[in-house]
């Protein structure tokens, strides 16, 4: 097998469990793997990290070429795609299942190694996780979003229970919740693992970390100002960190940066 089980491929498994899919092509023996995020908010993460990582660990060992890029401006996705009869077995070997996602499990080879599980958690967080700040509603006059959180969400209850237990074994105070879908027809419950408070989030960023600028800029704004405004775009947070925009101005209806622009509501 040309594909290696290591920290990098453990992270790719986490990324795939979040935003990836290995599916069969109709009327063909070919299999397609795609990994896709948001066209604007995740593109930097894909271009600078995910795509080079996938090329290095998967594409060149198997095909001696770069992976294909896919995007759609109408429905705002951007990512990578490869279609081949030779892609299924190597990805199955890593623990990425074929077909429609059902119940998922952290592969045993990842669970047995602390470095591998940390890499897997980082990958899953960077695709199916979010970091954000909430207001402290016990203080009525405090309108700033100071209370930082990390949420990891998925419809696979077994996977989320494994993630929760893995985090507890690493010393995190993780909690898991389930919630019904907005409409129950053909939908599944969503399961969310939650980490709350600065101590927990600092520990995550030190031990597990993130490669996604979408997450890193939210964390950096919170560390710098002790709060992070909601409904901000990646571009806006970069301007805040460069001190081109005051984060306090984000609590008005409009935000000024030389000219007046609406704050984009790109959260997750």
75 and 136 fall within a common domain: no
Which pLDDT does position 69 carry in this prediction?
Answer: 95
161 and 237 fall within a common domain: yes
Q: State pLDDT tens for residues 247-265.
A: 999 987 434 433 333 333 3
Domain count, the chain: 2
133 and 237 fall within a common domain: yes
Burial of 93 from C-beta contacts in 10 A (0-12 / 13-18 / 19+)? middle
In a domain, 13, yes or no: yes
In a domain, 239, yes or no: yes
Residue 248 is given by DSSP the state G
Q: 119 with 175: CB under 8 angstroms?
A: no
Domain carrying residue 95: 7-101
174 and 245 fall within a common domain: yes
Q: 22 with 130: CB under 8 angstroms?
A: no
Residue 185 is given by DSSP the state T
CA distance 46 to 127: 11
From residue 37, give the alpha-carbon distance in Å to each of 19, 80, 113, 145, 215.
7, 9, 28, 26, 13
Here the CATH number for the domain that contains residue 220 is: 3.10.28.10
In a domain, 2, yes or no: no
pLDDT of 81 above 50: yes
In a domain, 117, yes or no: no
- DSSP states of 48-116: IIIHHHHIIIIIHHHHSSPPEEEEETTTTEEEEEEEETTSHHHHHHHT---SS--S----HHHHT-HHH
Q: What is the mean pLDDT of the chain?
A: 89
In a domain, 1, yes or no: no
Which pLDDT does position 183 carry in this prediction?
Answer: 58
141 and 53 fall within a common domain: no
- Average pLDDT (181-187) is 59
Q: State pLDDT tens for residues 232-243.
A: 999 999 999 999
In a domain, 119, yes or no: no
In a domain, 182, yes or no: yes
164 and 227 fall within a common domain: yes
Q: How many CA atoms lie within 13 A of 203 on its CB side?
A: 15
In a domain, 106, yes or no: no
Both structure tokens of 136: 């402290």
Given 69, 101, 133, the domain boundary residue is 101
Given 46, 68, 101, the domain boundary residue is 101
Residues of the chain with pLDDT > 90, as a percent, come to 78
62 and 136 fall within a common domain: no
Q: 196 with 147: CB under 8 angstroms?
A: yes
Which pLDDT does position 262 carry in this prediction?
Answer: 35
139 and 199 fall within a common domain: yes
150 and 238 fall within a common domain: yes
């Amino acid at each position: 097998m040309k594909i290696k089980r290591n920290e990098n491929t453990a992270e790719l498994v986490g990324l795939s469990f979040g935003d990836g899919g290995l599916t069969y092509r109709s009327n063909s023996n070919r299999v397609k793997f795609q990994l896709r995020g948001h066209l604007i908010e995740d593109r930097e993460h894909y271009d600078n990290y995910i795509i080079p990582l996938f090329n290095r660990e998967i594409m060149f060992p198997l095909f001696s070429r770069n992976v294909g890029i896919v995007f759609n401006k109408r429905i705002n996705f951007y990512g990578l795609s490869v279609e081949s009869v030779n892609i299924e077995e190597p990805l199955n070997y890593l623990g990425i299942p074929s077909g429609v996602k059902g119940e998922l499990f952290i592969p045993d080879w990842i669970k047995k190694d602390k470095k591998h599980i940390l890499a897997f958690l980082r990958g899953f967080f960077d695709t199916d996780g979010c970091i954000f700040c909430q207001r402290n509603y016990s203080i009525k006059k405090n309108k700033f979003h100071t209370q930082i959180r990390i949420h990891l969400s998925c419809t696979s209850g077994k996977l989320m229970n494994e993630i929760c237990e893995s985090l507890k074994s690493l010393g995190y105070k993780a909690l898991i919740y389930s919630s019904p879908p907005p409409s129950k027809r053909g939908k599944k419950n969503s399961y969310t693992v939650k980490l709350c408070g600065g101590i927990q989030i600092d520990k995550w960023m030190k031990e597990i970390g993130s490669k996604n600028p979408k997450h890193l800029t939210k964390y950096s704004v919170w560390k710098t100002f002790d709060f992070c405004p909601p409904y901000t775009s990646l571009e806006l947070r970069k301007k805040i960190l460069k001190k081109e925009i005051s984060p306090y101005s984000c609590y008005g209806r409009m935000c000024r940066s030389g000219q007046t622009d609406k704050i984009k509501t790109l959260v997750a």
